[in-house]
Amino acid sequence: MANTTHPAPYDLHPSVAHVQAILANFKAKTGHTLEEWVALLRREQPADPKGWLKARGLGTNQAGFVLQRAGAAPGHAFDDTPEGYLAAAPGHVAKQYGGKKAPLRPLFEQLVALARGLGTEVKVCPCETLVPFYRKHVFAEVKPFVSRLDLGLALGDPKGVQDPSGGLKDTGGFARKDRITHKLEVTSEADLKIALPWLKRAYEGDAD
């Protein structure tokens, strides 16, 4: 395994860069900057703000950003600057593991350490309800429930995945063309030992 030392607790989610690219091209694509559209929306106060924006040529994502900045729609974890996302990421994790889920936080941290140990390319990028692990793409994700963690894994076609123990579950993701195709329920450190080979397989399968 590679050195697990990492200079920061979390990494920049790939979606942040995608959002920033959309925002940077707003005027070129729509004729106005994001701020100008917000000002227009507030001035006109249409009964159907989203429909009003789309009727003026904005795409779904573009209209969504305007609505969020205008306070007409909730924001999203990725609709921020890179610095803003990284500042907010620890709070996403803290919220996920608050209250009754707090006892699961040590298991989550151990899963993060296992993932980091797979190689220097691993990125841990919290969302609001789960934490994905990336290499080239998302290869695993962790979502907490009251009594367990669900470790989602990108293992590909279930026909090529054999688990005699029966602990690995087919999520149906392969048929839906989702990245995450399987999951393991993690409730103890013993489950981490079971999870590691599958986590490694998912990581190595995302090399290209």
Q: Are residues 60 and 129 in the same domain?
A: no
Q: Are residues 94 and 148 in the same domain?
A: yes
Q: Are residues 116 and 89 in the same domain?
A: yes
Q: Are residues 53 and 95 in the same domain?
A: no
In a domain, 5, yes or no: no
In a domain, 74, yes or no: no
Strands ordered across the beta sheet of 149-153: 123-124, 131-134, 138-144, 149-153, 182-186, 169-170
Q: Are residues 96 and 146 in the same domain?
A: yes
- DSSP 8-state code for residue 184: E
Q: Among 69, 90, 108, identify where a domain stops.
A: 69
Domain count, the chain: 2
CA–CA separation, 94 and 101 (whole Å) = 10
Strand partners, 72: none
- Tens digits of residue pLDDT in 40-96: 999 999 999 999 999 999 998 899 889 888 876 555 555 567 888 888 899 999 999
Sign of CA dihedral 76, 79, 84, 89: positive
Q: Are residues 122 and 53 in the same domain?
A: no
In a domain, 1, yes or no: no
In a domain, 182, yes or no: yes
Q: Are residues 63 and 119 in the same domain?
A: no
- Whole domain around residue 180: which residue ranges? 82-204
- Tens digits of residue pLDDT in 127-183: 999 999 999 999 999 999 999 999 999 999 999 999 988 899 999 999 999 999 999
How many alpha carbons lie under 13 Å from residue 190 in its C-beta half-sphere? 2
Q: Are residues 39 and 103 in the same domain?
A: no
Token pair belonging to 3: 């050195």
Q: Are residues 62 and 126 in the same domain?
A: no
In a domain, 6, yes or no: no
Contact 58, 30 (CB under 8 A): yes
Q: Are residues 62 and 90 in the same domain?
A: no
In a domain, 76, yes or no: no
Q: What b/e sequence results for 123-157 when a residue is b if at least 16 CB atoms lie within 10 Å of its CB, and e otherwise?
A: bbbbbeebbbbbbeebbbbbbbeeebbbbbbbbbe
- Tens digits of residue pLDDT in 2-54: 434 445 689 999 888 888 888 889 999 999 998 999 999 999 999 999 999 99
Q: Could you tell me which of 153, 142, 140, 154 has the C-alpha nearest to residue 106?
A: 142
Q: Are residues 150 and 91 in the same domain?
A: yes
- pTM for the model stands at 0.78
Q: Are residues 91 and 178 in the same domain?
A: yes
In a domain, 88, yes or no: yes
In a domain, 2, yes or no: no
